[in-house]
Amino acid sequence: MVRILVVEDEYILAINLQESLESLGYTVPDIVDSAEAAIEKATELRPNLILMDIRLRGEMDGIEAAEQIWNSLQIPIIYVTGHSDKSTVERATLTLPFGYILKPIREQELYVAIQTALSRYEREQFLSTVLREMGNGVIVVDPELRVKYLNQVAEALTGWRLNEAKERNLNEVIKLIDEQTKLPVENPIISALEQGNTVYLNNHILLIGKNGKTIPIADSATHLRDNSGLITGAVMVFRDDTQRRLTYEPHLTIERNRQLEIQVAELERLNQLKEDFLATTSHEMRTPLLNIKMAIYMLENALTQEGILSSESVFASESVVHYLSILRDQCEQELNLVDDLLNMRMIDADVYPLELTSIQLQDWLPHVVECFQERTQVQQQNLQVSIVPNLPPLISDLASLTQIVSELLNNACKYTSPDEQIRLTVQLSYTTTSLINEDAESNFTLNKKTPYFEIKISNSGVTIPVKEQSRIFEPFYRIPQSDRCQHGGTGLGLALVKKLVECLQGTIEVTSFQGWTNFTVKLPLSLSK
């Protein structure tokens, strides 16, 4: 017998609805007139379906109640309401209802809606059970590579819980590397979206879990289409390939292990040579560059004092000033490159100095932005700054934070065309962690909210291809065949920014779509030593 809970604040309508339901063969275990009572009765009675009015008694409406009931109990809900305005329908749609019936209610329409909802719920529960119980990991993303679903096997293999991974970028949750080179490889989901077909994982691919552990994986990814043929996302099915390799790849023997050991030793030797070269060369280059910079400064002063650079001098020439400016700028650029190399080396060696201080972002950031205001005005760009007031202090390293924000703003200024926008926004956000109490007689879940600072720097008019976004933070990497290559640079800026952010125990990610590129830095409120 199908049991249906009625939530309606008009008593006569509720009684009429109960009579209609019972005449159709359904059972009505109770009628309530408020959202709070609906949540309580749904938890107590666990009905098969709920008919929910939207306007109810009390502070909470039916849409809010429906969202809580579905998230905690997974009971299907049909809205029965007299309100069909655009804003109400849009709010209701976000809760993924199983139906929407307008008053006055016709009995036949009610029967069709209930049977359709129950049939859809049964199909979805069956599919959910299959995905949950199947032996392979399953991850689903939308066209922008935002994670929408992980089954339990995928959670176990990646180390990410669904509520943690949902809406994150795919490349943050699923990190794949080549087993031999240890270099990042493109996720097959990206190829499936671009090509519109099924793409199989190459051999010897490792998945890096959230805890840093690596496992060999295998299988494939394919695109998803709606009824009109438009691609709505992609799904990747993958499995732990460890056992198969042990069973079917006997060539992984002592000889291969010995060869791998030789390769690792050689890589370590080459890395050490690189580190020694960088250390020696960086220091040796910095001293003469500083001397050259000082010589340029002294030369300009001497020429000015002699009157050679004055407007009245017959020797005055725009070319002299121009070439002195080139020398000064090139020298400064080389010094910045050397400093970046030294900083990256110190970070890799875990000896980068951090000096913790209390930073009021709403007071400090305007000073950092000030030096970019004139530049954006000259380049006819629109620089907007939005900082939420009354932010708590940030305990972090001021020098590193200044370098991070300055580099990202400099990056935005370089790649933003005239009449386009640059935005700097700062706000306090929260991440929710579910804590499961397993010691109590009845298990329950507590949601803990942890605050963090979110600094976002966005610029319009530029879109970074999806396949390049996972590599943009690699040292010396520059996007091929792109307008970004025309602006010079070494490809070290973003690599250093990522390392500095990680030094500050934060994360940085890039998203780029619909003509906007966004760099989002997330930092803890306090930097623990």
Same domain, yes or no: 230 and 310: no
The pLDDT value given to residue 310: 58
C-beta of residue 409 within 8 angstroms of C-beta of residue 372: yes
Distance in angstroms (rounded) separating the CA atoms of residues 26 and 115: 11
Domain-located, residue 423: yes
The pLDDT value given to residue 486: 47
Range of the domain at 201: 137-248
Domain-located, residue 21: yes
Distance in angstroms (rounded) separating the CA atoms of residues 410 and 429: 25
Same domain, yes or no: 266 and 236: no
| β 231-240/214-225 pair status | antiparallel
First-to-final CA distance of the chain? 61
* Phi, psi dihedral angles at 215 (to 5 degrees): -140, 145
- Residue owning tokens 């679903």: 149
The whole-number mean pLDDT for each consecutive block of 10 residues of the chain, a chain of 529 residues, reads 91 91 92 93 94 90 91 89 82 82 87 89 71 72 89 87 87 88 88 85 84 86 82 86 67 65 82 67 66 77 68 55 74 74 74 87 91 89 91 92 92 88 93 65 68 93 82 76 50 85 92 90 84
Same domain, yes or no: 185 and 288: no
Domain-located, residue 529: no
Domain-located, residue 123: yes
Same domain, yes or no: 9 and 125: yes
Tell which of 132, 155, 177 closes a domain: 132
Name which of 475, 473, 505 is nearest 490 in CA terms.
475
Q: What is the enclosing helix (H) or strand (E) of 32?
A: strand 31-32
Same domain, yes or no: 146 and 243: yes
CATH number at 384 reads 3.30.565.10
Same domain, yes or no: 237 and 382: no
Tell which of 348, 375, 396 closes a domain: 348
Domain-located, residue 441: yes
Distance in angstroms (rounded) separating the CA atoms of residues 297 and 401: 30
Domain-located, residue 102: yes
| β 147-150/137-141 pair status | antiparallel
Same domain, yes or no: 188 and 232: yes
What angle, 0 to 180 degrees and rounded to 10, lies between the N-to-C axes of helices 361-378 and 398-414? 30
C-beta of residue 421 within 8 angstroms of C-beta of residue 456: no
Distance in angstroms (rounded) separating the CA atoms of residues 489 and 414: 10
Instruction: Encode pLDDT of 178-218 as tens digits.
Output: 888 888 888 888 888 888 888 887 778 889 988 888 888 88
Tokens of 386: 């939005």
Tokens of 375: 């530049």
Same domain, yes or no: 50 and 141: no
Same domain, yes or no: 381 and 453: yes
Instruction: Encode pLDDT of 137-151 as tens digits.
Output: 888 889 899 988 888
CATH number at 120 reads 3.40.50.2300
| Angle, CA of 146, 149 and 155, to the nearest 5° | 110
Q: Which residues contact 468 (CB under 8 A, 6 or more apart)?
A: 479, 482
Domain-located, residue 80: yes
Tell which of 201, 220, 248 closes a domain: 248
Residue 348's alpha-carbon distances to 181, 215, 282, 340, in angstroms, are 19, 25, 15, 12
Domain-located, residue 496: yes
Please classify residue 261 by burial: count the beta carbons closer than 10 Å to its beta carbon, then call 0-12 exposed, 13-18 middle and 19+ buried: exposed
Same domain, yes or no: 148 and 52: no
Q: Count the neighbouring beta carbons within 10 Å of the beta carbon of residue 183.
A: 9
Distance in angstroms (rounded) separating the CA atoms of residues 147 and 88: 27
Distance in angstroms (rounded) separating the CA atoms of residues 498 and 347: 11
Same domain, yes or no: 270 and 238: no
State the total domains in the chain: 4
| β 4-7/31-32 pair status | parallel
Same domain, yes or no: 93 and 192: no
Q: Which residues contact 282 (CB under 8 A, 6 or more apart)?
A: 338, 341, 342, 345
CATH number at 173 reads 3.30.450.20
